[in-house]
């Protein structure tokens, strides 16, 4: 396999996302806590799954988009989803160009034969003075009204009282249609407004994902794996005293902590299937992270991969993420399918990459707009954790808050 060369891109301070309009395949991921971002453009080759060498790294950059329905292939007890879709569960691809931001430094990783073309491409992508266009107005239609939502939650809470499950993440979609929606402008507005630490932007032909994710699924560094389940939300306030009260309220909330710990326990169990004995450690428990629109509760668990296993094995063992399913995980997923009555698709899946240096990062596709350019159809899914202690009315309001954070980030104003 031909090795890539690294090209430094000086003075790359401004990006024109609209320059990607003619690219049918790309995936961008922001990793704020590492002051890093990567963008894979084009497709040299599609893969069934990433291939790792003896050192636990891929030979070339590998990007992926994982749909929630990958669960059906990973867990035999689930069978096949009632509503089948033509899209594959996973898109794995090796891009033609890779752009990497590390702090103030920007570089491209390209094949030697593409070096001249890559420099020309960079001069268009890193264009000074690129303006963020104004977005169209959407008329969003909820697929479940308040009464329908509360009815499904009541059924799920019956399962909880019977002891079938302890927690389940129940999600509802909103849909809209637009012939003028510009996903490139929407993503530019999202980056300006949301400060989402694990944002993503994905295109595969007519399918787009504009993702303002605040949650990491998994991170990799050689044989080390890390997971960060997120459960628990409070809105931010412009009033400092009120904002601090909301933050403290979240940190002390028994119900929110219970949800978070249950998701953490599921992820610890998933990690134990691939981890070296005794290496699964909880590094942060129920920490509160403050984002521009909301406070979120996040826990962190890490482990060392067992000898002979790869990062792909770890990703598959933990997918779908605990924060978007429930506990016990398999039974929760069965009840999710019955309650939601349709596929989630890329929502509550993951966007990410594996790099030749042994690193990788995968987000949770939430706070996202999915768009089909062929039909003009758009969707936003939002959800929350249903437990024995939850107030269904508050869970409904949490779904509204999360949807509004996406609409505000990409919207007209």
Is 139 known to be catalytic? no
Annotated active-site residue in 71, 231, 293, 402: 231
Is 24 strand, coil or helix? coil
Q: Can you spell out the DSSP letters for 120-178? A: HHHHHHS-TTPPPPPPPP---EESS-HHHHHHHHHHHHHHHHHTS-SEEEEEEEEEEE-
Rounded Cα distance, 61 and 353, in Å = 7
Nearest to 392 by CA among 156, 124, 114, 55: 156
Rounded Cα distance, 64 and 165, in Å = 31
Structure-block tokens of residue 7: 């090209």
Distance (Å) of CA 59 to CA 43, 113, 286, 357:
16, 18, 37, 9
pLDDT digits (tens, 9 = 90+) for 357-386: 999 999 999 999 999 999 999 999 999 999
Rounded Cα distance, 180 and 304, in Å = 48
297 alpha-carbon distance from chain centroid: 16
Note the pLDDT of residue 297: 94
Note the pLDDT of residue 78: 83
Annotated active-site residue in 215, 259, 340, 395: 215
Positions in the chain whose pLDDT score sits under 50: 413
Residue span of the structural domain in which 279 resides: 4-410
- The radius of gyration of the chain's CA atoms, rounded to the nearest angstrom, is 21
Distance (Å) of CA 78 to CA 200, 314, 329:
29, 20, 11
pLDDT digits (tens, 9 = 90+) for 271-326: 999 999 999 999 999 999 887 777 889 999 999 999 999 999 999 999 999 999 99
The dihedral formed by the CA atoms of 11, 13, 17 and 20, expressed in degrees to the nearest 10? 20
Rounded Cα distance, 16 and 22, in Å = 13
Q: What is the end-to-end Cα distance of the chain in Å, rounded? A: 48
Note the pLDDT of residue 136: 61
Note the pLDDT of residue 413: 41
What residues contact residue 306 under an 8 Å CB cut-off, 6+ apart? 274, 275, 276, 277
The structural domain count of the chain equals 1
Note the pLDDT of residue 45: 97
Rounded Cα distance, 342 and 196, in Å = 27
Strand partners, 94: 45
With DSSP H G I counted as helix, E B as strand and the rest as coil, what are the percentages for the chain, rounded to 5? Answer: 35, 35, 35
* Domain harbouring 89, CATH code: 3.60.120.10
Widest pairwise Cα distance in the chain: 65
Note the pLDDT of residue 76: 85
Is 273 known to be catalytic? no
What is the reported pTM?
A: 0.93
For tokens 């090209």, name the residue: 7
Nearest to 395 by CA among 160, 215, 138: 160
Note the pLDDT of residue 345: 96
356 DSSP assignment: T
């Amino acid at each position: 396999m031909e090795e890539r060369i690294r090209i430094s891109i000086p003075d790359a301070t401004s990006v024109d996302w609209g320059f990607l309009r003619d690219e049918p395949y790309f995936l961008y991921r922001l990793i704020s806590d590492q002051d890093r971002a990567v963008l894979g453009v084009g497709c040299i080759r599609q893969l069934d799954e990433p291939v790792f060498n003896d050192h636990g790294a891929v030979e070339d950059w590998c990007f992926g988009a994982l749909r929630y329905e990958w669960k059906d292939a990973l867990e035999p007890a689930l069978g096949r989803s009632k509503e089948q879709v033509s899209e594959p569960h996973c898109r794995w691809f090796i891009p033609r160009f890779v752009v990497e931001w590390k702090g103030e430094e920007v570089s491209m990783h390209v094949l030697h034969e593409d070096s001249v073309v890559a420099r020309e491409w960079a001069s268009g992508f890193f264009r000074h003075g690129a303006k963020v266009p104004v977005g169209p107005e959407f008329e969003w239609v909820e697929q479940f009204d308040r009464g329908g939502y509360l009815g499904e939650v009541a059924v799920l809470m019956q399962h909880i009282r019977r002891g079938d499950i302890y927690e389940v993440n129940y999600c509802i979609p909103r849909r809209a249609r637009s012939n003028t929606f510009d996903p490139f402008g929407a993503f530019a507005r999202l980056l300006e407004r949301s400060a989402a630490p694990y944002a993503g932007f994905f295109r595969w032909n007519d399918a787009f994902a504009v993702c303002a994710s605040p949650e990491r699924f998994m991170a990799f560094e050689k044989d080390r794996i890390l997971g960060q389940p997120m459960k628990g939300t409070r809105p931010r306030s412009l009033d400092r005293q009120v904002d601090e009260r909301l933050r403290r309220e979240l940190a002390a909330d028994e119900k929110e902590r219970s949800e978070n710990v249950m998701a953490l326990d599921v992820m610890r169990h998933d990690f134990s299937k691939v981890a070296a004995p005794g290496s699964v450690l909880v590094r942060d428990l129920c920490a509160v992270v403050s984002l521009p629109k909301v406070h979120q509760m996040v826990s962190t668990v890490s482990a060392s991969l067992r000898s002979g296993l790869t990062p792909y094995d770890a990703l598959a063992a933990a997918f779908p993420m605990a924060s978007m399913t429930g506990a016990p995980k398999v039974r929760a997923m069965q009840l999710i399918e019955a309650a939601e009555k349709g596929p989630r698709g890329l929502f509550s899946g993951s966007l990410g990459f594996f790099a030749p240096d042994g690193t990788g990062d995968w987000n949770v596709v939430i706070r996202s707009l999915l768009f089909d350019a062929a039909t003009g159809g758009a969707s936003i899914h939002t959800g929350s954790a249903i437990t024995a202690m939850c107030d269904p009315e508050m869970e409904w309001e949490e779904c509204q808050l999360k949807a509004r954070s996406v609409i505000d980030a990409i919207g007209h104003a």
